[in-house]
Amino acid sequence: MNAIQSSFGALFLLASLTACATDRQVIQQADNAHKDLEPAVLEDPQLAGYLQEMGDRIIVEAKKLSDAGYGPKSHRAEEDAWMFTDVKFHFVNSETLNAFTTGGEHMYMYTQLLQQCRTEDELAAVMAHEYAHVYARHVHKGMNRQYLAMGGAVAGAALGYTLADDEHKMEYAGLAAVGAGALTGFLNQGFTRSDEAEADELGFEFYVRAGWDPAHFGDFFQAMVDAGHDTTPELMSDHPSLASRVVAANAAAAKLPPEAKSWRKPAVAEGAKFKAMQNRAAQIAKSLPKDQSLKTAQTLLNAVGNCLLPNDQPQQIEARTKIATVLQN
> What pLDDT is attached to residue 1?
40
Closest CA to 187 of 36, 23, 16: 36
The answer to whether the beta carbons of residues 172 and 161 sit under 8 Å apart is yes
> What pLDDT is attached to residue 208?
98
Separation of CA 121 from chain center:
18
Query: In sequence order, what are the beta bridge partners of 41?
Result: 92
**What is d(CA 308, CA 221) in angstroms, rounded to the nearest whole number?**
8
> What pLDDT is attached to residue 146?
57
| Distances from the Cα of 257 to the Cα of 65, 205, 209, 267, angstroms | 16, 12, 12, 21
**What is d(CA 173, CA 263) in angstroms, rounded to the nearest whole number?**
49
The answer to whether the beta carbons of residues 89 and 41 sit under 8 Å apart is no
User: For the chain (length 329 residues), average pLDDT per consecutive 10?
Assistant: 39 44 89 90 97 98 97 92 96 94 94 97 98 94 59 41 49 52 41 91 98 97 92 66 94 97 96 98 89 82 81 80 67
**What is d(CA 92, CA 82) in angstroms, rounded to the nearest whole number?**
23
> What pLDDT is attached to residue 168?
53
DSSP-derived 3-state class of residue 183: coil
The answer to whether the beta carbons of residues 11 and 173 sit under 8 Å apart is no
